[in-house]
Structure 1
Amino acid sequence: MKFGVVIFPGSNCDRDMIETLKIGLKQEVIELWHKHKDISMFTTDDCIVLPGGFSFGDYLRCGAIAKFSPMMQSVIEFANKGGKVLGICNGFQILCESGLLPGILLRNSQQQFVCKNVFIKEAAADACQALKIPVAHGEGRYFADDETLEELEMHRQIIYRYCDEKCTVNHESNPNGAIHNIAGICNKERNVYGMMPHPERACSSALGNEDGRKVFAHLFGIN
């Protein structure tokens, strides 16, 4: 399985993602500049990653300019053909702006940037395990209308929810006011994934946290 990591002006988590995939998880990684379009080296068994950061300085709205990059047009075509796409933080915002995922990311309810470790759980897991994963965002409050939320629940598209260390989903464990404590979702076809927490920052024993490996294992079967 190959991973392509798209780099936009303002990306600041691309190196974290590349190092984690290449060194920590022993995967083949290809860097993709936003002005390029060629991703013919990838098959639908591979994955394109949109990393976190502040693409184009977050002018207008987070991800609103990045969606027009030549590379994103190729990524949209790739996803529509069944290729895997993962968006982390700003990447999640870009996926929503591009229409590859439903809903939108709004400013945090407390109107402040949040940067800390939080706990998340697999929304559909039978046995709960709280994963400690860092967040770092100012606009991470997931929101969707009632009809969209009903579809997300019906098709089991909510992949992660914020919780406490005992796996309890409550208001106190929600770092940004996201509706239904939603931390990550996927599309109906289950090949496009978006989440606000940063699993790539929790894959190293040197940092004292390897819970992020379980996210990559859950989504792609690698650890």
Structure 2
Amino acid sequence: MSRERILVVDDEPQIQRFLRPALEAAGYDVVEAMTGADALRAAATAAPSLIILDLGLPDMDGKDVIARLRAWSQVPVIILSARDREAEKIAALDLGADDYIEKPFGIGELTARMRTALRHRIQEDGGLTAVSVDGLTIDTVRRVVERDGTAVKLTPKEYDLLVLLARHAGRVVTHKTLLTSVWGPAHGEDMHYLRIFVSQLRGKIERDPANPKIIRTEPGVGYRFVTE
């Protein structure tokens, strides 16, 4: 069986020196690039299964790499982000990145995010038929949600919000993506809508809404539907 190929895009030699042996030890083949231009060429020629992308590159912004890449490829992208670059992190996710991890990071956390991105890239809109986690079952064919075998009554918007999060299970979904997908483009900045509906949704599906295990908050960024 061929190994998954990972393209690592970072201009810091120490990051490359750390990631290559760590990822190879985890069972991946590694291709490296240190500029945005090299990253785009490698994405086209090396056919990576996933790209790990730093936002701060010497020749172009990492967000520009994502925008150009998404014009022709849906390969999973995990961005590397410094803690003080939240706005850029959100912009990268809205442009089509699948997830992010903050520097400094541990290889265990990174490989877990990689497995999630690889697993869920094939689960596009319309692909989800059912998901179960912690006694919660979502059946999109019958449009039924149950908690421990008992039907959960959701409003149409609550249902749409839950299914959207579940379709991206394991991956962070930004506030803007949730708002525009569920309420429409005119509501892309209506954060109060989202906070209210997430709170209502947690009250119906979480065992302890004050300590949610299924719908996790990614502070300042969005929410993540957790299945593990």
Give the TM-score taking structure 2 as reference length: 0.38
Larger Rg: 2
Q: TM-score with structure 1 length normalisation?
A: 0.38
Between the two structures, name the one with larger relative contact order (CA 8 Å, sep ≥ 6): 1
Structure in which a larger fraction of residues adopt helix:
2
